[in-house]
Amino acid sequence: MCTPTLLFHKYVVYGGEKVGKTSFQQCLSEDEFCESYTPTIGCEVRVKSYSLDNIHCKSQIWTTSGQGKMMTISRAFLRGCSGEFDIFFTIRPCTQ
């Protein structure tokens, strides 16, 4: 009997205040979109489990508050990441 392999990935969703980071994170992890807005305080981690070519995979998806102080701190969260999603609001150029 084969032992299932577990692949682990870490992703960070990064961007300015209220650009849709948590919504994007929620779409990735739970395939859901919520119209209400609750600002992120500190950071939030969600986990997505899936199977790829019979390999059991787990992804941790991190996001932080878009407020200036947390954006600086969140650079430390990039360590060990497989990927980063930079989110911005096209009609608010200051978020790019």
Ligand X SMILES: Nc1nc2c(ncn2[C@@H]2O[C@H](COP(=O)(O)OP(=O)(O)OP(=O)(O)O)[C@@H](O)[C@H]2O)c(=O)[nH]1
Interface residues with ligand X (CB under 6 A) are 17-23, 34-35, 37, 39-40, 65-66
DSSP bridge pairs for 12 = 62, 84
- With CB under 5 to 8 Å by kind, the binding choice for 60 among Mg ion, ligand X, none is none
Q: Which amino acid is at 34?
A: C
C-beta of 6: minimal distance to ligand X in Å?
29
- With CB under 5 to 8 Å by kind, the binding choice for 52 among Mg ion, ligand X, none is none
Q: Which residue is listed with tokens 């205040």?
A: 17
Q: What tokens appear for 75 in the block?
A: 């650079």
Q: Does 23 sit near Mg ion (CB under 5 A)? A: no
Sheet holding 6-15, edge to edge: 43-52, 55-64, 6-15, 83-87
Q: Which stretch in 39-47, 54-62, 70-78, 84-92 sits in contact with Mg ion by CB under 5 A?
A: 39-47
- With CB under 5 to 8 Å by kind, the binding choice for 74 among Mg ion, ligand X, none is none
Contact criterion met (CB below 8 Å) for 44 and 62? yes
C-beta of 40: minimal distance to ligand X in Å?
3
DSSP bridge pairs for 83 = 11
DSSP label at 3?
A: P
Contact footprint for Mg ion (CB under 5 A)? 21-22, 40
